[in-house]
C-alpha cells in the first residue's frame, strides 16, 4: 500500500510517497519519492511517477483524501486564526473541515448533496443508536434506510430507532437552522426520536407515514399517545444511570437546570468556539439527563444541530470508540452545571475533534 507521508521540520513541511508492507510481525515503511513542500507540488510530482502509477491508482481514495484535506489545511493556516485553548492544534483541522463544507460541499447540486447526506445519515444513525445498545449492524441499517428492508430477528424498537433518527436529522437539515435552542425545541426533538419506540402496533415491515410523523412537530400540533413512549417531556421521576459515576439532576429540578443550561448557552455563544460550545452543551445536557430515555440520542442530535446552524459539518461519534467517549464525558463531570474548566473538558473536546476530522473527509469528499 502506498500513501503520502508528511514530515514537519521546524515550520517547514515535506511530503513523500511512502510504501507500507507487512513482513511477518513487522511493518516495513519505505519512502519511494520526494513529492515537494506544498500540496500543489505534490499533485504535480504524482503525475510524474510512471514507475508507481498502478500503486498510486489503487490507493487513489486515500491519496485524494489526504491531498484535499491538506489543501484546505494550508488555506486555513494562511488565515492566522486566534488560538483556542480547548482545541489547541485541532483548531486548524476543524476549520479546514468547515472551509471545505462551505466552499465545496454546500455548492454541489442538490441531488449530490442529498446522496452525501444520506451516506452520512446511515453512518450516524447506526453509530448513535448502537452506542445506546441497538444491535442492528451497519449493513442492516443501510438496507433498512436505503431499501426499506427490515432486518431479521430485530425488535421494532430498534427499527424505529433508526428510522426516527433519519427523519429527525433531515427535518433539522430542512429547517434551515432557523430554530433557536429552547426547552420546547429540545422536547420536540426527543418526541420525534422516540416516536413508536414503545408502541408495537404496526407490523414489522411497515414504515412511518409522513403524515403520522409530522404530527409530532416543532410546533404545537397534536400526536397520538399510543405511538410514543409515554415518558415524553422532561422527567418527573429520578433516574439512575447504570454504570455511571455521576448523579443526574433530581427530578424536581430538571426544568430549572435546563433553563440554566439554555441561558448559559445563549450567553456564551460568542465567548466559545462553536465546536467547543457544542461539546460543552452536549456534556451538560447528558449530565442533567432530562428524559427518562433517549438522552444520548437527543444530545448527539442537538450537538449536530448546533454545528449545522453555525455552518460546521455534522459529525459522528463512532460506537467503536464508545468507551473513550464515555471516559471523556465522565472526566468532564468534574465541572458543575455553570463551570467550564479546561482540564475537565480537554479530553472530551480533543476526542470529538478527532471523530470529526477522521469522519469528515471519508464522507463529504
Which pLDDT value is given to residue 231?
64
Q: What's the grid cell of residue 96?
A: 479546514
Residue-range domain boundaries for the chain: 2-58, 101-363
The DSSP code for 14 is E
Which pLDDT value is given to residue 86?
97
Residues in Cβ contact with 102 at an 8 Å cutoff, skipping those fewer than 6 apart:
311
SS3 at position 35: strand
Strand-pair category, 12-23 with 26-36: antiparallel
Q: Is 132 left (phi over 0), alpha (psi -120 to 50) or beta?
A: alpha
SS3 at position 164: helix
Decide: 338 and 267 in contact? Cβ < 8 Å: no
Count Cβ atoms below 10 Å from residue 173 Cβ, excluding itself. 17
Which pLDDT value is given to residue 196?
84
Which pLDDT value is given to residue 208?
46
Which pLDDT value is given to residue 331?
95
Rounded CA gap, 341 and 182, in Å?
25
Which pLDDT value is given to residue 243?
62
Which pLDDT value is given to residue 209?
52
CA dihedral 285, 357, 143, 206 (to 10 degrees): 20
Which pLDDT value is given to residue 327?
96
Record the pTM. Answer: 0.88
Phi, psi of 18 (to 5 degrees): -120, 140
Rounded CA gap, 96 and 361, in Å?
10
Residues of the chain falling short of pLDDT 70: 198-231, 242-245
Which pLDDT value is given to residue 247?
84
CATH number, span 101-363: 1.10.3290.10
* Strand ranges inside 24-145, DSSP E: 26-36
Amino acid at each position: 500500500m502506498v500513501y503520502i507521508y508528511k514530515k514537519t521540520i521546524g515550520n517547514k513541511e515535506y511530503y513523500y510517497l511512502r510504501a507500507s508492507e507487512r513482513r511477518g510481525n513487522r511493518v516495513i515503511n519505505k519512502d519511494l519519492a520526494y513529492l515537494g513542500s506544498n500540496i500543489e507540488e505534490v499533485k504535480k510530482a504524482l503525475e510524474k511517477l510512471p514507475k508507481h502509477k498502478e500503486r498510486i491508482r489503487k490507493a487513489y481514495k486515500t491519496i485524494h483524501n489526504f491531498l484535499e484535506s491538506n489543501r484546505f489545511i494550508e488555506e486555513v493556516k494562511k488565515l492566522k486564526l486566534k488560538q483556542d485553548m480547548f482545541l489547541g492544534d485541532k483548531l486548524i483541522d476543524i476549520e479546514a473541515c468547515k472551509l471545505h463544507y462551505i466552499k465545496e460541499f454546500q455548492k454541489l447540486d442538490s441531488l449530490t448533496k442529498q446522496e452525501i447526506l444520506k451516506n452520512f445519515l446511515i453512518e450516524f444513525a447506526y453509530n448513535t443508536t448502537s452506542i445506546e445498545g441497538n444491535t442492528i449492524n451497519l449493513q442492516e441499517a443501510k438496507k433498512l434506510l436505503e431499501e426499506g428492508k427490515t432486518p431479521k430477528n430485530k425488535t421494532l424498537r430498534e427499527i424505529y430507532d433508526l428510522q426516527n433518527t433519519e427523519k429527525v436529522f433531515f427535518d433539522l437539515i430542512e429547517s434551515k437552522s432557523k430554530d433557536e435552542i429552547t426547552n420546547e425545541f429540545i422536547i420536540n426533538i426527543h418526541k420525534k426520536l422516540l416516536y413508536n419506540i414503545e408502541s408495537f402496533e404496526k407490523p414489522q415491515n411497515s414504515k412511518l407515514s409522513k403524515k403520522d410523523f409530522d404530527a409530532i412537530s416543532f410546533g404545537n400540533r397534536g400526536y397520538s399517545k399510543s405511538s410514543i413512549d409515554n415518558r415524553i417531556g422532561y422527567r418527573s421521576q429520578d433516574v439512575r444511570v447504570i454504570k455511571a459515576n455521576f448523579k443526574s439532576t433530581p427530578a424536581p429540578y430538571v426544568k430549572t437546570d435546563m433553563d440554566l443550561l439554555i441561558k448559559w448557552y445563549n450567553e456564551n455563544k460568542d465567548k466559545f468556539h462553536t465546536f467547543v460550545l457544542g461539546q460543552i452543551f452536549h456534556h451538560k445536557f447528558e449530565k442533567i439527563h432530562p428524559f427518562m430515555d433517549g438522552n444520548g440520542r437527543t444530545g448527539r442530535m442537538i450537538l449536530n444541530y448546533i454545528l449545522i446552524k453555525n455552518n460546521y459539518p455534522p459529525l459522528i461519534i463512532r460506537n467503536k470508540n464508545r468507551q473513550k467517549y464515555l471516559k471523556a464525558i465522565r472526566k468532564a463531570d468534574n465541572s458543575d452545571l455553570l463551570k467550564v474548566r479546561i482540564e475537565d473538558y480537554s479530553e472530551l473536546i480533543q476526542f470529538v475533534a478527532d471523530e470529526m476530522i477522521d469522519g469528515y473527509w471519508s464522507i463529504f469528499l
